[in-house]
Chains A and B, each alone.
Chain A
Amino acid sequence: MSEAYFPVGPGLGLEENFLSLDDILMSQEKLPGRAESTLPRLAFALGQGAGTGDAIPEGSKLEIPLWLAKGLHDSKRRIISVELPKIYKEAWRTVFSADANVVDLHKMGPYYYGFGSQLLNFDNPENPEIAQTILQTFISRFRRIMDSSQNAYNEDTSALVARLDELERALFRAGQKGLNDFQCWEKGQASQITASSLVQNYGKRKFTDMDG
């Protein structure tokens, strides 16, 4: 089944892929921001007041999803201004440059790379440093991902992938697939024809249906 199914992958650049489920989930993540002008009748929608007619006063702090922040953001800062989440700020950037391998990127935000790349849209003066840190983080974590994905054959990998970000997990799966396919071939399993997992599950379900 998986060979004939081609999901739209994440974009990872400055632009997301419109139909990528990963990118849609990624752009749901909240971003700290501040209202630069009064936003009438939006207090309820943004979770700041009870009444539907309330306005958001100028200067109030907001937590907005990335997609909305991107839509409202303007280089002239008329509607909202956006702050960096703390893991992309200098303090964490120093941590990343010290040893990126010890950081739990899944907890930090499961879309560290994608979200960070999207943050560059907000014309932050620290943009070059952010982009550089994201790249360096990927480079220094590359070896670990490669080694663990290609060594762990038939093992429970949940401990290994628990600290990986979504992008790294996809990469890990690609490495595992290469290894597993090769090992299957070596053991001669590839030459045996087995029923598709879909058919097997179908059979099981029918059986339980008859029981009930």
Chain B
Amino acid sequence: GDLGPFNPGLPVEVPVWLAINLKQRQKCRLIPPEWMDVEKLGEIRDQERKEDTFTLMPSPYYMELTKLLLNYASDNIPKADEIRTLVKDTWDTRIAKLRLSADSFVRQQEAHAKLDNLTLMEINTTGAFLTQALDHMYKLRTNLQPGESAHSQDF
């Protein structure tokens, strides 16, 4: 899409990669997203702890945005340290929850699950492990039914 026009002192929306590049060249100041706020993140964390399922995150890339903004523009973000702690807490809560649900998923030998509010970063860190484990489990389970494949060995 088109960007700009760029005027000094006026807010303008740009992709994160450009914002960080400009920030590194000391050509701009970053404005943190609305949700990157100690009070709001505290609410999100408490909500996450209260519910059994995953709650909707303020941004599908909350982890990535927090990390990039805090690394490159922490001087533009009020209470950066508290925000870092809050986001880390939320992440830990969600990962613990993910493990708990993965365990009960495996125990009940389910074949599908719905994980609407997980973010890509969360899915990716455990995804390879989980799919591999379920793949093994599927194969071990098909061993239970001696189907037509059992007879292909006959001579």
Report which A residues bind B (CB closer than 8 A): 12-15, 70, 74-75, 113, 117, 120-121, 127-128, 131-132, 134-135, 138-139, 142-143, 145-147, 149-150, 167, 170-171, 174-175, 177-179, 181-182, 185-186, 188
Any A CB within 8 A of the CB of B102: yes
Flag if B149 contacts A131 (CB, 8 Å): no
**B139: which A residues are within 8 A, CB to CB?**
12-13, 117
CA distance A170 to B129 in the complex (A): 9
Flag if B155 contacts A74 (CB, 8 Å): yes
CA distance A158 to B35 in the complex (A): 42
Flag if A14 contacts B126 (CB, 8 Å): no
**B107: which A residues are within 8 A, CB to CB?**
139
Flag if A131 contacts B143 (CB, 8 Å): yes
Flag if B136 contacts A171 (CB, 8 Å): yes
Looking at the assembled complex, report how far the CB atom of A82 sits from the nearest CB atom of chain B, in whole angstroms.
Answer: 13
**B126: which A residues are within 8 A, CB to CB?**
150, 175, 178
A132-B149 contact in complex given A174-B132, A175-B129, C-beta closer than 8 Å: no
Flag if A13 contacts B142 (CB, 8 Å): yes
CB nearest neighbor in B for A70: B153
CB nearest neighbor in B for A182: B125
**A75: which B residues are within 8 A, CB to CB?**
154
**B154: which A residues are within 8 A, CB to CB?**
75
A117 contact from B103, B106, B140, B152, Cβ within 8 A: B140
Query: Chain B contact residues: over half helix, strand or loop, or mixed?
Result: helix
Looking at the assembled complex, report how far the CB atom of A95 sits from the nearest CB atom of chain B, in whole angstroms.
Answer: 19
Q: Which of B101-136 contact A (CB under 8 A)?
A: 102-103, 106-107, 109, 121, 124-129, 132-133, 136
CA distance A185 to B14 in the complex (A): 23
Any A CB within 8 A of the CB of B67: yes
CA distance A175 to B125 in the complex (A): 8
**A12: which B residues are within 8 A, CB to CB?**
136, 139-140
Flag if B71 contacts A138 (CB, 8 Å): no
Any A CB within 8 A of the CB of B18: no
Flag if A132 contacts B144 (CB, 8 Å): yes
Looking at the assembled complex, report how far the CB atom of B135 sits from the nearest CB atom of chain A, in whole angstroms.
Answer: 9
Looking at the assembled complex, report how far the CB atom of B44 sits from the nearest CB atom of chain A, in whole angstroms.
Answer: 19
CA distance A12 to B137 in the complex (A): 10
CA distance A106 to B127 in the complex (A): 26
CA distance A65 to B30 in the complex (A): 67
Flag if A171 contacts B129 (CB, 8 Å): yes
B99 contact from A74, A147, A167, A181, Cβ within 8 A: A147
Flag if A131 contacts B125 (CB, 8 Å): no
Flag if B137 contacts A138 (CB, 8 Å): yes
**B4: which A residues are within 8 A, CB to CB?**
none
> Which 4 pairs show the lowest CB-CB distances between chains A and B?
A175-B129, A131-B143, A182-B125, A12-B139
CB nearest neighbor in B for A172: B129
**A170: which B residues are within 8 A, CB to CB?**
132
Looking at the assembled complex, report how far the CB atom of A15 sits from the nearest CB atom of chain B, in whole angstroms.
Answer: 7
B143 contact from A74, A117, A143, A179, Cβ within 8 A: A117
CA distance A188 to B72 in the complex (A): 11
Any A CB within 8 A of the CB of B141: yes
Any A CB within 8 A of the CB of B10: no
Flag if B143 contacts A15 (CB, 8 Å): no
Flag if B144 contacts A139 (CB, 8 Å): no
A142-B133 contact in complex given A13-B143, A74-B155, A134-B140, C-beta closer than 8 Å: yes
